[in-house]
Amino acid sequence: MEKIRIFGNQNLRLKGKVRISGAKNAVLPAITATLLTQEKVRLKNIPLVKDVYTILTLMKELGASYNIKKNSLSIQVKKIQSPQAPYELIQAMRASILVLGPLLARFGKATVALPGGCAIGSRPIDLHIHGLEKLGASISLKHGYITAEAKKLHGNEIEFEKKTVGGTENLIMAACLALGETVLKNCSQEPEVTSLCELLVKMGARIDGLGEETIRIKGVSELGGATHEIIPDRIEAGTFLVASALTQGDIVLTRVRPDHLDTVIEKLRYSGTQIEILNSSSLRAIGSKEIRSQDITTSPYPGFPTDMQAQFIVLMTQASGTSFITETIFDRRFSHINELLRLGANIEVSGDKAIVKGKTLLSGAETRATDLRASASLVLAGLIASGRTIINEIEHLDRGYERLEDKLKSLGAKIERIKT
């Protein structure tokens, strides 16, 4: 079992340059989109994280062959071998549900295990299912598996009841090969959705309204190969910005998209962090001695991302005053708080709100990671907690961060991965 060990201290000042990896949430749909063509697709700047290997295992089972060289992936699904996504893989990673739309569109049938419960609250897939039904699929549920069938999908108008990133992506992919036009309303506008649309357009899809709430797709009979570069990970970037803010650091982020981080930058500036946008792909963050408390509410893009909530809670433990952090996207996404309490943070949870009272001195302890972003928040807390912090169950961290400990070490942190 691997753990992360951090020797933290209040006087740590992170300093230096860090290169941001490709976005996990952009590469996963890009990989499943390759199910829509029999030709080869090349994806550049992919992050080498566990979720990518998990989706590739699933893709192989479905019939893909692939090859990774450094951070480039060549993948081809000449023929779909079996349109079935097994429980072990869906369970390991919820985003595996992103095979549903493209499999159905290309093969006429898809059988995918229901994802079930998840550490960050109930995460249903009803909106994916309703959308596919509107495109003409018949859906049945047996033995924990959903089977979607349609000889040919037919375009339709679908309005999402609630914004869903994965649901938007699944429906866009399915509609690319449907007969006629599909109009999707109330779509998620996350940069990862737009990046998927850009890839699909390169593959020959006819999509209008990229990045907007209404997306129109004119179905085509087939898609072809393409080369596409994965956008930088805005959540990894945000995590390093918070690391700089917490440690009065001076960190330059390279290969980043500042325009994807507007809300996070605004909140950091309010907290006192100096953020300089150096150019279209680099940012500098200089932390200040005094951190200002503030209220934050998570919401769909371009709002404040739920995936940055845990990291900002750590920052607010070091602010003078009380902050109210409201989580509106996922219920029960506060599991990191119990662990932060063990480090000495003063946080109360009331419904969907975390009330963070600062400033508290944190002291290192043994902790366990409960989900991906929760683990990142524990790493951040460990950097400024006095003494030793151990983080167990770091497989969550490895799902989405590429060499986080090496990157932090290069900035001056005392952090290492240990085997027990």
Point out which residues bind ligand UD1 (CB under 6 A).
25, 28, 94-95, 123-128, 162, 164-167, 188, 192, 306-307, 329-330
Give the residue closest to ligand UD1 by C-beta.
166
Tell the smallest beta-carbon distance from residue 78 to ligand UD1 (Å).
Answer: 26
Pick the closer one to ligand UD1 by CB: 126 or 212. Answer: 126
Tell the smallest beta-carbon distance from residue 9 to ligand UD1 (Å).
Answer: 31
Tell the smallest beta-carbon distance from residue 307 to ligand UD1 (Å).
Answer: 5
- Please list, in sequence order, all residues whose beta carbon lies within 8 angstroms of the beta carbon of residue 117, skipping any fewer than 6 positions away: none
Structure tokens at 131: 């959308």
Pick the closer one to ligand UD1 by CB: 165 or 376. Answer: 165
Tell the smallest beta-carbon distance from residue 369 to ligand UD1 (Å).
Answer: 15
Pick the closer one to ligand UD1 by CB: 102 or 287. Answer: 102
Structure tokens at 372: 């991906």
Contact 6, 415 (CB under 8 A): yes
**Alpha-carbon gap, residue 315 to 303, rounded angstroms:** 18
Tell the smallest beta-carbon distance from residue 322 to ligand UD1 (Å).
Answer: 26
Tell the smallest beta-carbon distance from residue 154 to ligand UD1 (Å).
Answer: 21
Q: Which member of 118, 176, 187, 197 is catalytic?
A: 118
CA 48 vs. chain centroid, Å, equals 14
Known catalytic residue at 187: no
By annotation, the residues acting in catalysis are: 118
